[in-house]
Chain A
Amino acid sequence: MNITEKIIARASGRNSVSPGDVVFANVDKLMIHDVSGPGVIKVFEEWAKKGIDLEKVWNADRVWIAEDHFVPSADRISAENITKLTNWAEKYGIKKHFKYGLGQYGICHTLSHEEALVLPGEFYIGGDSHTNTTGALGALAVGLGHTDIAYAMMHGRIWLKVPETILFKLIGKKPAHIMAKDIILKIISDIGTDGANYKAMEFAGNAVREMSMEERLTLTNMTTEAGAKNGIIEPDAVTDAYINERTSEIYKPILGDDPHYLEEFTFEIDNLEPIVAKPFSPENAAVARELQSIEVDKAYIGSCTGAKLEDLRSAARILKGKKVKIRTEVLPAAQSIYLKALKEGLIDIFMEAGAVVGPPTCGACCGAHMGILAKDEVCVSTTNRNFPGRMGHIESQTYLASPLVVAASAIKGKITDPRDVSK
């Protein structure tokens, strides 16, 4: 069995499972945020009307809550959603509630690794499609809707179909101008946005082993854009070091043994060029240098995909001592990352370059608030989706790219390869 199958087998109490099997599996960790949370509460309210009451959640210590999509509260409804969520969490004794303005908080998928809320070998479900991100820790991390989350919240179990797994072997040495973002955009352009529909995407190969945890997280984050059920990387020394810096909890890593894959792809990354996904699909890739005539109105460095500490460091490397030519927004993905960036002097670099630095939020990434795009505006962004209307007006456009490309583009006001800005 490969790692995905082994975790499902463990969580469902079986000796083995095979692709296609449908099982009920025990959940180790569960996350909701300020969009899925009120949705889940609404499901409970509907069930209560039909006589099914939630007396307690299956395990309050294993549930955690992020406030990320609509914080800082954009309007009255968003504010009331936060109040509702807070009251609900208190009623059911959920203590891990990362509140905006109260210590550590941030984007849910960033907290999952920053706070080591999920550990290798665990089965983790979240009320958000990019829950896949956390698979980089060697966990089975799967995004689900409100009803499924509500069911699991009540029973501690949920049904799963064991997915087929596609293995992506990344080999070679990553050039300095290339980030994991370029690699995953390349993979998605090759296999398409439904290329891994219902399947697991596992990453291996020397290039993955040599990658930092944060870079690995970018790979798994965007498996969602290929339709995957989960993205996963077998844990190793890098994983252990990352987790042990953040928690003293004991965990039991799971590795594949005699693994089987539906398909295997090998990607050599030595000669990869910086890649950009053009509107309106993450699979719509082009080499950055081919797009250098595209004028851009805004550069966005934010989100669970592209505002981790190393993402900010990469952007700062390009922006140091430079001025941005277009409106540029930098939103660290969590409060802890913001603070680390501040201490390292990255925030000075961004502000001296003329960018605005904002609090962690999903706001602009999902076109909800905090800097959405006007009609016909063009954005180059470290985020993960560029569907019509994703970041604002239905006739706005988003180009997805690495933090290096976004920072370089901010300086030139056009899509720019990081090698083309002077040192």
Chain B
Amino acid sequence: MTLKGIVHKYSKDNIDTDVILPGPYLKIHDHGELSKHAMEGIDADFSNKVSKGDFILAGTNFGCGSSREHAPIALSHSGISAVLAPSFARIFYRNCVDGGYLLPLEIERSTLEQVSDGDTLEIEIENNQIHDNTNGKNFSISPFPPLIKKIIDSGGLMYYKE
């Protein structure tokens, strides 16, 4: 699987789910409607900027806070195919994978510093490789643990056979 898209960079650590999808919208369960409010707490213009397949690049502990699956749903329906961060909050990570919404990709802290907002990336999931087409550099991602990889390959937890 190779993903290609543009980077939307938010370098802050601890970007929490209240920022990714603010509390007042929790009552909404329409995926398209939710996507309009993605990242509203940090970038009101986010949903207009994103094209299908794009990436979020962010600081450590991305997705901390509540268990709301609204957060990965809003991101994925706004077009985001993967979030790249040095670490993720536990429930957010599970939600991304088990719901089959988008990929949480763990990167080195130095990758966060070297990739810029607006760069075009090609990510080869099978080889755990990132190519930054804008600056020509290559980076690696941490391989998925075996079960996580199987769930991703199945298209989400529901389609995974124990």
Contacts and interface: CB of A to CB of B under 8 A. Distances in A.
Interface size, A (range): 35 or more
B54 interface: no
Given A77-B27, A127-B67, A389-B22, A198 B98 contact: no
Contact of A146 (B24, B69, B145): B69
Contact of A39 (B16, B22, B70, B91): B70
Contacts, number: 125
Contacts of A168: none
Contact of A24 (B72, B87, B158, B162): B162
Query: Mostly helix, strand, loop or mixed at chain A's interface?
Result: loop
Interface of A: 22, 24, 35-36, 38-39, 42-43, 47, 52, 69-70, 74-75, 77-78, 81, 127-129, 131, 143-148, 150-151, 157, 159, 161, 193-194, 197-198, 227, 229, 281, 366-369, 385, 387-390, 394
Contact of A367 (B22, B61, B100): B22
B23 A390 contact: yes
Contacts of A161: 145
Interface residues of B, number: 38
B64 to A, nearest CB: 6
A144 B156 CA distance: 15
Contacts of B67: 36, 127-129, 131, 143-145
Contacts of B157: 147-148, 151, 159
Contacts of B24: 367-369
B68 interface: yes
Given A143-B91, A145-B95, A193 B64 contact: yes
Given A70-B27, A389-B41, 7 more contacts: A35-B68, A78-B27, A127-B67, A147-B95, A159-B157, A368-B27, A387-B18
Contact of A389 (B19, B69, B89): B19
Contacts of A36: 67, 69
B81 interface: no
